[in-house]
Amino acid sequence: MAAISSPLAVPTARRELPGDLAMWCFILAELAVFGIFFITYAFARSANVAMFDESQQHLNRTFGLVNTFILITSSYFVVRAVESIRHDRGQACARWLGAAIACGALFLVLKVVEFVAKYEAGITMSTNTFYMFYLFLTFFHFMHVILGMVILGAIALKARAGGYSRASHAGAETGAAYWHMVDLVWIVLFPLIYVLH
Amino acid sequence: MQFKSQAVAKPYFIAAIGLFLGQILFGLIMGLQYVIGDFLFPAIPFNVARMVHTNLLIVWLLFGFMGAAYYLIPEEAERELHSPKLAIAMFWVFLVAGALTIVGYLAVPYATLAQMTGNDLLETMGREFLEQPLPTKVGIVIVALAMLYNLSMTILRGRKTSINLVMIIGLWGLALFFLFSFYNPANLVKDKYFWWWVVHMWVEGVWELILGSMLAFVLIKVTGVDREIIEKWLYVIIAMALISGIIGTGHHYFWIGAPAYWQWWGSVFSALEPVPFFMMTVFAFNMVNRRRRIHPNKAAVLWALGTGVMAFLGAGVWGFLHTLAPVNFFTHGTQITAAHGHMAFYGAYAMVVMTMISYAMPMLRGRPANSERSQVVEMWAFWLMTVSMVFITLFLTAAGILQVWLQRVSSTPMPFMAAQDQVALFYWMREVAGVFFLIGLLLYIASFFIKGKLPAHTSDTLATGKQRAVAEA
């Protein structure tokens, strides 16, 4: 009975892939890129653990943690957006997406503050291998957040204009899947680069 | 052929094949010079033969791409080309400029050519693949801009399809990245750094868009599979090509003086470059297996499938072989690179141009496909050239491995020329394979002149019950 009211309830009858298969191929490719980088990070770290651990101390974990919560929250908003459109509520869908985009923007602001602090401390990608990974991976992820926001923005506009319906909203699911990928990557990236030592 | 103006593609295709023959002849000359150093010296020194070999390759592929664009863009846009006259005029400009350039390479010493053509005004010459004199480079830009204007106008006023969009973005990218050939900083690191923005961004970037859209176009035509399916594949493939290829440029930055982080980025991103090529293979076979019609042009289908397989092997597998920085530390600039270069250029670009020619040329000559006899000869040519290229690649790979060992790994490393002597056997075998390639190419050319009974004019739908209208034929 509890499942009926929850917006997160898994529809049991549904067996097909949500969204477009092409997007899933794309997500797989993105995850492969990040995954390979995470593995090379592990190898590079094992070659020089002391240097990695020392450099890691200088990262802003508080910001990292806050950003993790922000992205998870944004993913929740995206889930609510998809749920709304499944009930034919285009305006609500657009509003939830707007909230998710706002989270994304907040994430970017905090990231920029972090980057500026590192830049002012004279840290660049050539400082050492740890900072190379830190700066590259977080910047690469940063660009993905921007792309994700653009995608969510496009969906929000279409949803507001009534472009989706209960029967036809594959586009919204496709964009949502991409956003969840961006979130997922951060959930791995944050503990790996900021915390684990 | 649905539109009269598509006929402008014909001279482009003919010129492409003619220059291809020239490229192979010079390839054979320099192949022989690898083992008989003074062959044809001083008339054609090795460096000149090499320059002609590689420049002809680039120019004939450009002719092929342009011909393909002039053929497929009007058909996709469902309207006549904006200006067929401009396309023909540009053909002659490009052909004359190309011919004069080659004559210049062969007739006078390179330094004299540089002096004669105003290299002191803007120094752009003397760099591998970008050896063209300044007037030729300017000519390439003019021809490219005129073509882009012509094709963009056609697309803007016509039906917009994904194939056209990808093709035109690829062609614009081709023109834009070529502009870096005019940038020649005195700093050698910067010089190399931006040189790759032409070379790498072409072959592992925007050319892949051109390749993808040409392949998609031919597959729609010969298989009758739904456009939406083929276009979705096209998008995923080019997205992967760009994700891996753009930062993959880093695999050229390992040892030229660029920052060390490129060793990580270059390795990781370029390691993914085989993925889009693998997808292309799966794509081609998948579409042919799901075909809704049996197109009378079997040779074109063979070329399309061959492109998928050989591009994956040559660009994907042979590229991956030496793309990781720790491996490349030993292999860069050896015959391994030459092996990869040969199969990648043939498998990806030479073959896709021949796929397009194979499909379009009969149409341009007023028939859906060539006669059975002509197609059999063309398919023989396909197998001869392709198998020869596999052997050329294998022999060069063997030469490369031996070279790396003798010159860079063994406890008593040999000087370059001494190591070259040791691998001569493989160069001889490569030369023999090259002769077979030439025979294949001659057969290919001969297939255009073979007559015979033409196949039925309409393509038959498959007897699977799917009686779709053959609208795309």
- Full DSSP string of A149-172: HHHHHHHHHHHHTT---SS--HHH
**What is the value of ipTM here, to two decimals?**
0.81
From chain A, the residues in CB contact with B243 under 8 A are: 29-30, 33
3-state secondary structure of B461: strand
From chain B, the residues in CB contact with A21 under 8 A are: 232
pLDDT band at A4, cuts 50/70/90? very low
DSSP letter (8 states) at residue B460: E
Mutation target to probe the A interface, by most A beta carbons within 10 A, among B162, B244, B261 is B261
A32/B260 Cβ within 8 A: no
pTM assigned to the model: 0.90
Q: Does A184 touch chain B (CB under 8 A)?
A: no
Q: Does A39 touch chain B (CB under 8 A)?
A: no
Q: Does A76 touch chain B (CB under 8 A)?
A: no
Whether residue B459 is predicted with pLDDT greater than 90 in this model: the reply is no
Alpha-carbon dihedral angle through residues B128, B176, A26, A112, given to the nearest 10 degrees? 100
Q: Does B16 touch chain A (CB under 8 A)?
A: no
Q: Does A5 touch chain B (CB under 8 A)?
A: no
Question: What is the dihedral sign for C-alpha A106, A111, A112, A116?
Answer: positive
Q: What are phi and psi of B327, to 5 degrees?
A: -80, -45
Q: Does B235 touch chain A (CB under 8 A)?
A: yes
Instruction: Determine the Cα–Cα distance for residues A156 and B322; give it in Å rounded to an integer.
Output: 45
* Nearest residue of chain B to residue A23 (CA atoms): B236
B265/A136 Cβ within 8 A: yes
Provide the mean pLDDT of chain A: 92
Is domain A62-197 classified as CATH 1.20.20.10? no
What distance lies between CA A5 and its chain's CA centroid? 27
What is the least distance, in Å, from the CA of B259 to any CA of chain A?
Answer: 7
Provide the mean pLDDT of chain B: 94
What is the least distance, in Å, from the CA of A160 to any CA of chain B?
Answer: 26
From chain A, the residues in CB contact with B234 under 8 A are: none
**Nearest residue, CB atoms, B236 vs list A26, A37, A126:** A26
CA distances from residue B412 to B326, B398, B408, B422 in whole angstroms, order as listed: 21, 20, 9, 14
Q: Does A168 touch chain B (CB under 8 A)?
A: no
Instruction: Determine the Cα–Cα distance for residues A135 and B468; give it in Å rounded to an integer.
Output: 54
From chain B, the residues in CB contact with A35 under 8 A are: none
From chain A, the residues in CB contact with B266 under 8 A are: none
* Nearest residue of chain A to residue B269 (CA atoms): A33
Domain assignments of chain B as residue spans, ordered by start = 1-118
CB A67 within 8 A of CB A138: no
* Nearest residue of chain A to residue B324 (CA atoms): A40
pLDDT of residue A15: 67
Q: Does B257 touch chain A (CB under 8 A)?
A: no
Instruction: Determine the Cα–Cα distance for residues B72 and A110; give it in Å rounded to an integer.
Output: 48
Q: Does B157 touch chain A (CB under 8 A)?
A: no
From chain B, the residues in CB contact with A133 under 8 A are: 264
For A14-65, how does the pLDDT look when each residue is reduced to its tens digit (9 = 90+)? 667 888 888 898 899 899 999 999 999 999 999 999 999 999 999 999 999 9
pLDDT of residue B464: 41
For B367-378, how does the pLDDT look when each residue is reduced to its tens digit (9 = 90+)? 999 999 999 999
For A128-170, how does the pLDDT look when each residue is reduced to its tens digit (9 = 90+)? 999 999 999 999 999 999 999 999 999 999 999 999 999 999 9
At B273, list the tokens: 């470059």
Instruction: Determine the Cα–Cα distance for residues A18 and B463; give it in Å rounded to an integer.
Output: 34
